[in-house]
Amino acid sequence: MSIEVKSLNKRFGTLAVCDNLNLTIPSGELVALLGPSGSGKTTLLRIIAGLEQPDSGSVHFHGEDATFDDVRDRNVGFVFQHYALFGHMTIFENIAFGLRVRPRSSRPSEAAIRTKVMDLLKLVQLDAIASRYPHQLSGGQRQRVALARALAVEPKVLLLDEPFGALDAKVRKELRRWLRRLHDEMHVTSVFVTHDQEEAMEVADRIVVMNQGRIEQEGSPDEVYDHPATPFVLKFLGDVNLFHGRGTPSQEVSYVRPHELDIVTTPSDDTWAVTLAQALTVGPNTRLEFKREDGSYVDVELSREAWQALRAQLKLESGSAVHLRPRRVTRFAAA
C-alpha cells in the first residue's frame, strides 16, 4: 500500500506543525520520520492514521483519496510508545482483540483466530508465554505484544509513534534490529516516528528529516548522512565541528565531523593549530577535546587503539600543541 501526502497543512493556533508537506512512500517501504520535538513528525503520522484532520491538502492510499476517511476504514495498524495494552487480558487475548470485535460478517472463526494469534506470537517470539498478563512482562516484551496486536488485523499500513522511546538503551537496540528483520519478512508499508538518529539510520529504508513543520531532506540513511542538504540535517545527524573562515569575513561555514579529523604535527594551509585539553575513553572509542587559538573547542573521535598508538608516537598529553587536518569538509553559506 503506497502513501502519498500532497500539499498538507496543519496549524495549532499560530504554530504551523505541517507546512505544505509533500511526501511519497512506496508500497512495502519502511520510512522514519526523524526530527526534534515540535518538528511535526507525530502530527503527520496522526494525519496519515486519520487521528487528526489537516487544514488543507490530502492523503492518498494506493492512489485513492483517504483524507477524510474514518480511521476504522483505513486499514491502518498503530503502535504507541506506551503499549496501550489491556491489563485485564492475557497476551493471547490482547492480540486477538481486534479480530474478535470485527462485525460478525467479517469475523474469523474461533479456530482461525487461535491459529492467527499463535502464528503472530511465534513471529514475535512470545508463544511460550501466551497466557501471561501485561504486568508480568518486561517493557520490550510488552512492545512486541503491541506490535503483534497491530499486525493481527492484517493492516495495509503500519504506523509506529516512538515505539521504543520508553525502553532502556539495550532493549531499544535489540528491538529495533528485531523490527528491521520483521519488516523484511512481512513487507508491510511502515512509517515510524523517532527523534533518535541512530535508530532511524539503523532501521529505515528511507529517512525523512523534519524541522519546524517542514521536510528538510529525505533519502536513504547514507544519502542524508553523507550528503546533507542543509546545516540542520548535518548537525542533527550526529556531532559536528564548525569552522568559520579565516581572515576577512567569509560567506561560508565549514563543518567537519569528529571522526573525519586527523591529528598531525606539521602545519599547512588546510590545518588548524590546537592544544589538547582532555581525552575521554568510553568503551572502544576515545573522544579528544582540543582548544583552538580563538578559545573555541574541537572534538576528535578515534578508536581506543588508535589513540593509544598516537599518544605513544607523538607523546601527547594535556597541553600538547598539534594541528588538525580534515579528511572531508562540508560547506554551507553563513546564515
Residue 127 grid coordinates: 508463544
- Percent residues over pLDDT 70 in the chain: 97
The secondary structure of 36-70 as a DSSP string is -TTSSHHHHHHHHHTSS--SEEEEEETTEE-TT--
Question: Hey, which bits of the chain come out as E strands?
Answer: 3-12, 15-25, 30-34, 56-61, 64-65, 76-79, 157-161, 189-194, 206-211, 214-219, 241-244, 252-256, 261-264, 272-282, 285-292, 297-303, 321-326, 330-333
Could you tell me which of 89, 220, 212, 61 has the C-alpha nearest to residue 146?
A: 89
3-state secondary structure of 255: strand
Question: Mean pLDDT throughout 163-180?
Answer: 81
pLDDT recorded at residue 321: 95
Is the C-alpha dihedral spanning 119, 105, 156, 100 positive or negative? negative
pLDDT recorded at residue 83: 64
Interval 150-171: pLDDT, tens: 888 888 899 999 887 767 788 7
Count of positions (residues) in the chain:
335
pLDDT recorded at residue 139: 85
Residue 32 near residue 221 (C-beta atoms within 8 A): no
Q: How far is CA 258 from CA 211, 228, 317, 325, 327, in A?
A: 24, 16, 19, 11, 10
Pair type for strands 30-34 and 189-194: parallel
Is the C-alpha dihedral spanning 146, 147, 151, 155 positive or negative? positive
pLDDT recorded at residue 247: 46
Q: At what angle do helices 91-100 and 110-123 cross, to 10 degrees?
A: 130
Residue 291: pLDDT band by 50, 70, 90 thresholds? very high
Domains and CATH numbers, the chain: 3-236 (3.40.50.300), 241-333 (2.40.50.140)
Question: Mean pLDDT throughout 269-293?
Answer: 94
The answer to whether residue 175 scores a pLDDT higher than 90 is no
Residues 6+ apart with CB under 8 A from 285: 301, 302, 303, 304
Q: At what angle do helices 139-152 and 169-186 cross, to 10 degrees?
A: 20
The answer to whether residue 248 scores a pLDDT higher than 50 is no
3-state secondary structure of 229: coil
Cα torsion through 59, 203, 288, 261, rounded to 10: -80
The answer to whether residue 131 scores a pLDDT higher than 80 is yes
- Return d(Cα 145, Cα 126) in angstroms, integer: 8
- Return d(Cα 319, Cα 297) in angstroms, integer: 13
Higher pLDDT, 250 or 318: 318
Cα torsion through 195, 196, 200, 206, rounded to 10: 30
C-alpha 23: how far from chain center:
17
Residue 15: pLDDT band by 50, 70, 90 thresholds? very high
pLDDT recorded at residue 246: 55
Residue 322 grid coordinates: 598539534
- Return d(Cα 108, Cα 96) in angstroms, integer: 10
Helix (H) or strand (E) holding 181: helix 169-186
pLDDT recorded at residue 173: 83
The mean of the pLDDT values for the chain is: 91
H helix and E strand count, the chain: 9, 18
Residue 295 grid coordinates: 578559545
Q: At what angle do helices 91-100 and 139-152 cross, to 10 degrees?
A: 20
